[in-house]
Amino acid sequence: MVTMRMHYPSELMKGLQAYGLDKKEAKIYLAGLELGSASVLEFSRRTRLPRTTLYPILERLRRRGVFRVGKEKKTTVYIAESPRRLEEQMRERESLVEKTVPALELLQETARGGPGVTFYEGTDGFKRLWKQLLESEVKEYRLITSGVGLLDYVKEPYLVDRIISERKKRGIHSKQLIPESRATRKIVEKDINELRESRFLPKDVDLPATVIIFADQVAFITTRRENAMIILASGDVARTYKTLFDLVWSKADQPEK
């Protein structure tokens, strides 16, 4: 009969903890090496842990590649992977981390203020974009739009009752460049009530997409056919678009009072 350890050398425990196992998981793995292959009941007898505790731990270790499962006389048994196999897995993980470091560093630079890009799709994405704008704490944003393209994503009551109403509640003003037409003149008539100032672009200007400049971000809303929204977080790009907007704004026609 093989005598099994109840206590394991600290260097074994530290090595397995370095692999990513906690103390309980490490003891179960060591018990598995001694048992060879064993049922949950046998693990329970060996480790003195209840089966209800062992089941989820063994399954978790199986998913992580520390144990594999087999069958003996119709009984499920757990077999500890060899220490060499754990070493191989460790090297594979190190290699994977090494390959992803450049992408992780790029993500870190984005968080430090470098340009970042967010993509949204569909009506839900449209609503999330506006939620992001409304919660950005800006007090003014700039908008270049056809005036009707936004209705591809939501109905007019949503624009008025949800987006514009919330904007008014938060005291957020907007400046809008919009081509002049019968439909857009009706929109501009509501400027004062909707905390907006508009100026007209020439009637023949084609604006299938919408551009919104707020804080240090620029949002692009495509047509429903392309069904995409892109938010570019870049102080330099936002300043550039603000400058271009203000240049056009200074030349655009003011609505008749």
How confident is the model at residue 107, as a pLDDT? 59
Q: pLDDT per residue over 45-87, tens digit each? A: 998 999 999 999 999 999 988 999 999 888 999 999 998 988 8
d(CA 3, CA 115): 62
Q: pLDDT per residue over 178-224, tens digit each? A: 999 888 999 999 999 999 999 999 988 888 899 999 998 999 998 87
- Using a 10 angstrom Cβ sphere, with 0-12 exposed, 13-18 middle and 19 or more buried, the burial of residue 242 is middle
What does residue 67 show for φ and ψ, rounded to 5 degrees? Answer: -125, 160
How confident is the model at residue 1, as a pLDDT? 36
Q: For each of the domains in the chain, give its residue range(s) and CATH number, in order of start.
A: 10-85 (1.10.10.10), 111-251 (3.30.870.10)
230, HSE (Cβ side, Cα atoms, 13 Å): 11
Number of residues that this document lists for the chain: 257
Helix (H), strand (E) at residue 134: helix 122-134
How confident is the model at residue 257, as a pLDDT? 66
d(CA 175, CA 177): 7
Q: Which one, of 158, 157, 159, 206, lies nearest residue 181 by Cα?
A: 206
Q: What is the DSSP letter of 150?
A: G
Q: What is the DSSP letter of 82?
A: P
d(CA 200, CA 167): 22
